[in-house]
Structure 1
Amino acid sequence: MSAVSSTSSPPSDSGRRAAPLGRDFSLLWGASASANLADGLVRVALPLVAVELTRSPILVSGVAVTGTLAWLLVGLPAGALGDRLNRRVLALGAALTRTVLLGGVGLLLLTDHLTVGALFAAAFLLGVGEAFFDTSTPAMVPGLVPRRELSRAHGRRHAASMAGDDLVGPAAGGTLFTFSKAAPLLVSTVCHALSAILLWRVRYEPGTAPSEAAERRVSLWGEILRGLALLFRERRIAVLALWGAGANFAGSLTFSVLALYLVAPGPVGLDTWGFGLLMASLGVGGIVGASYAGRLAARMGELRLLTLSCLLMAVDSVVLALTTRVWAISAGLVVGAAAAAVFGVMTITALQRRTPDSHLSRVSAGNRLIMMGGTALGGLTAGVLGESTGDLRVGFTVAAVLFVSLCAMRLAVPEADDEVGPPPSERTP
Structure 2
Amino acid sequence: MSDDGGDRVRRTGSPALRTLRSYRDFRLLWTGSAMAVMAERCSGMAFTLLVLWDTRSASAAGLVGFAGLLPALLVQLPAGVLVDRLNRRRVMMTCVVVRMVAVATVAVSLVGDTVWVWHIATVAFVQSSMTVFYQLSERAMVRSVVPPSQLGVAMATNEARSRAVNFVGHPMSGAMFGLSAWLPFMSSVGLYLLSLITIVRLRGEEDPPPGPGRKRRRMRADIAVGLRWVWDRAFFRMALLIIAGSNLVFQGLVLTVAVVVREDGGAAGTVGLIMASGGMGGLLGALAGGWLNQRLAMRQIMITAHVAWALVMPAAVFFRQPVALGVLFFITSHIGAAVTVSGMSYQVRITPNDMQGRVGSVVMLLVSGASSLGALGTGFLVEAVGTRHALVVVSMVMVVLALVAAVVFTRPGAALEDRQEGASPPQPAPVAPADGAAADPLTNLELRRIDG
Shift of 1:214: 1.8
Which structure 1 residue ranges, 5 or more long, are not aligned? 1-15
Distance (whole Å) between structure 1 residues aligned to residue 313 and residue 144 of structure 2: 39
Conservation of the 8 A alpha-carbon contact between 1:231 and 1:363: yes
**Are the counterparts in 1 of residues 79 and 361 from structure 2 also a CA contact under 8 Å?**
yes
Indicate if the aligned counterparts of 1:53 and 1:116 stay in contact, CA closer than 8 A.
no
2:288 aligns with one of 280, 283, 292: 292
Q: Which residue of 2 aligns with 1:406?
A: 401
Offset, 1:133: 0.9
Relative to structure 1, the CA distance from residue 420 to residue 295 in structure 2 (aligned partners, 3 Å threshold; closer, same or farther) is farther
The code of the aligned residue for 2:170 comes to P
Q: Distance in 1 between matches of 2:158 and 2:106?
A: 28
Following superposition, the deviation at residue 233 of structure 1 comes to: 2.1
Change (3 A) 1:351 1:207: farther
Q: CA deviation at 1:313?
A: 2.7
Alignment of 1:240-255 (within 5 A): 240-255=239-254
- Counterparts of 2:311 and 2:111, CA distance in 1: 40
Deviation at 1:372, TM superposition (A): 1.9
Shift of residue 83, structure 1, vs aligned partner: 0.3
Match of 1:55 in 2: 56
Equivalent position of 1:170 in the other structure:
170
**Which 5+ residue runs of structure 2 have no aligned equivalent?**
1-15, 429-441
Q: Which amino acid aligns with 1:240?
A: A
- Rounded to whole Å, the distance in 2 between the matches of 1:33 and 1:212 is 35
User: Equivalent residues in 2 for 1:15-414 (5 A)?
Assistant: 17-20=17-20, 22-164=23-165, 166-205=166-205, 208=208, 211-212=211-212, 214-216=214-216, 218-263=217-262, 266-267=263-264, 269-389=265-385, 391-407=386-402, 408-413=404-409, 414=414
Which of the two has higher C-alpha Rg?
2
Aligned counterparts of 1:251 and 1:20: Cα–Cα separation in 2: 32
| Shift in Å, 1:299 | 3.0
- CA shift at 1:395, angstroms? 2.0
Q: CA 1:67 to 1:230, structure 2 compared with 1: closer, same or farther past 3 Å?
A: same
Q: 1: distance between equivalents of 2:148 and 2:201?
A: 22
* 1:55–1:315 CA distance, 2 compared to 1 (3 A): farther
Residues 41 and 411 of structure 1: CA distance in aligned 2, closer, same or farther (over 3 Å): same
Match of 2:419 among 398, 401, 417: 417
* Deviations, residues 119-165 of structure 1 (Å, cap 9, x unaligned): 1111111111111111111111011111121110010100101111x
Residues 108, 114 of structure 1: 8 Å contact kept:
yes
Aligned residue in 2 for 1:7? none
Q: In structure 1, how many angstroms separate the alpha carbons of the residues matched to 2:37 and 2:81?
A: 23
Q: 1:207/1:108 Cα in 2 relative to 1: closer, same or farther (>3 Å)?
A: closer
Residue 421 and residue 411 in structure 1: after superposition, are their counterparts in 2 closer, same or farther (change >3 A)? farther
Q: Distance in 1 between matches of 2:150 and 2:293?
A: 16
**Secondary structure, in 3 states, of the residue corresponding to 1:257?**
helix
Structure-1 separation of matches of 2:229 and 2:215: 15
| Matches of 1:24 and 1:359, distance apart in 2 | 22
- The residue identity in structure 1 corresponding to 2:112 is T
Change in 2 beyond 3 A, CA 1:213/1:37 = farther
Determine if contact 2:20/2:154 at 8 Å carries over to the other structure: no
Q: How many residues align?
A: 408
| CA shift for structure 1 position 316 | 4.7
Change (3 A) 1:215 1:403: farther
Distance 1:370 1:215 in 2: 29
Q: Percent sequence identity over matched residues?
A: 27
TM-score normalized by the length of structure 2: 0.86
For 2:180 and 2:192, the matched residues in 1 are separated by: 20
Post-superposition shift, 1:215?
4.1
Per the normalisation by structure 1, the TM-score is 0.90
